[in-house]
Amino acid sequence: MDFGFSQEDETFRAEVRDWLAAHAGAGTDRRTWERTLGKAGWIGLGWPEQGYGNRAATLTQQVAWAEEYARSGAPPRSGHIGENLLAPTLLVHGTDEQKARFLPPVAAGEELWCQGYSEPGAGSDLAGVRTAAVREGPHYRITGQKIWTSLAHEADWCFVLARTDPGSRRHHGLSFLLVPMDQPGRVEVRPIRQMTGTSEFNEVFFDGAHARAEHVVGAEGRGWQVAMSLLGFERGVSTLAQQIGFAEELAKVVATAAETGGLDDPVLRERLVRQWAELRTMRWNALRTLGGSGDPGAPSVAKLLWATWHQRLGELAVGVRGATAAAGPTAWSPAAPYELDAAQHLFLFSRADTIYGGSDQVQRTIIAERVLGLPREPKGAV
């Protein structure tokens, strides 16, 4: 695929660069930053429809935006779950009323979302969901637990995969519900402290939480189809922006290796060159598949590539420093805060790369069954 940028696209890239330079420090917190983006129309560039406060942008312009955003050092996004997952799902499966209610606040950066999929015992095997939703007149009453819910502590809403048919098994009898998080006593969020000392992920407990009946997406009992459609939106233009960040991390590892004399080690040099070559391969593979459809294995291949690559980079980040990598940035004491430097954080956090978003084992199963046509793995009664 020739992914060269036209003069119009380069003009768009320059506009993006200038705007980010002028505004990247405007947000005093992540929510304020989302509103800053929304006010300028930068949320929802990839949506196939306009009219919700978003700009129109071609696929190449979306790539330009993602790359310039990654290079600019702009604040981390809190609204990407609503923008890149919920919104495309509503545009395909939602009613006109649902689109009118939920898309403008997402485009404005006013409402933040989280994803209520994984549960204890139903992580990578999503069809094992046990969270229940019972219809009670104009609303559903939801009871159950979700886990590893990114940014739930900041979110206003959660899209929840729940079982609305109590006698159903596996992927039957599931529904996709839009649930407000501000329900004291009915929705509880508990942050999960990780090895890094941070808490991006959360447990979410629903104890009779309410969701309005008109906020079921795709009709009751069709939640599996909607959920699978949403997962198809998880990897796209953002992959290229992710690779910009990867390249910056790799450059820092190489610079550290040069400072410590690690480049004199032929084995270490070979590992660094391999990381560089594989990153280039990932970029061209992402460009090749970008905007394509009908390839059920492409998202799984991409996830396998970047997750294992990033995990190896984390190992290199501490490996090039030798024994000094075991020492923290500050003197340790029981009363001191838990601190890591950037390389240590990369090493520890990247251990999760091959688990979240569908483990490596699940990705290989998808490729085996849906691409290679191998016999399906037994998953119990249906």
* pLDDT digits 0-9 by tens, 278-330: 999 988 887 777 655 556 677 788 888 889 999 999 999 999 988 888 877 77
Higher pLDDT, 324 or 19: 19
237 band by pLDDT with thresholds 50, 70 and 90: low
- State yes or no: is 315 an active-site residue: no
- Give the highest mean pLDDT range of 2-11, 100-109, 213-222, 346-355: 100-109
Three-state SS letters, the chain: CCCCCCHHHHHHHHHHHHHHHHHCCCCCCHHHHHHHHHHCCCCCCCCCCCCCCCCCCCHHHHHHHHHHHHHHCCCCCCCHHHHHHHHHHHHHHCCHHHHHHHHHHHHCCCCCEEEECCECCECCCHHHCCCEEEEECCEEEEEEEECCCCCCCCCCEEEEEEECCCCCCCCCCEEEEEEECCCCCCEEEEECCCCCCCCCCEEEEEEEEEEEHHHEECCCCCHHHHHHHHHCCCCCHHHHHHHHHHHHHHHHHHHHHHHHCHHHCHHHHHHHHHHHHHHHHHHHHHHHHCCCCCCCCHHHHHHHHHHHHHHHHHHHHHHCCHHHHHCCCCCCCCCCCCCCCHHHHHHHHHHHCCCCCCCHHHHHHHHHHHHCCCCCCCCCCC
pTM of the shown model:
0.81
pLDDT the model gives residue 354: 86
pLDDT at 31 over 70: yes
381 band by pLDDT with thresholds 50, 70 and 90: very low
pLDDT the model gives residue 167: 78
Per residue in 53-84, pLDDT tens?
888 888 888 888 888 888 888 888 889 899 98
Q: Given 119, 200, 234, 278, which residue is catalytic?
A: 234
pLDDT at 16 over 50: yes
Per residue in 36-56, pLDDT tens?
999 999 999 988 777 888 888
Mean pLDDT of 150-161: 92
pLDDT at 190 over 70: yes
pLDDT the model gives residue 293: 56
Mean pLDDT of the chain: 85
Mean pLDDT of 343-348: 90
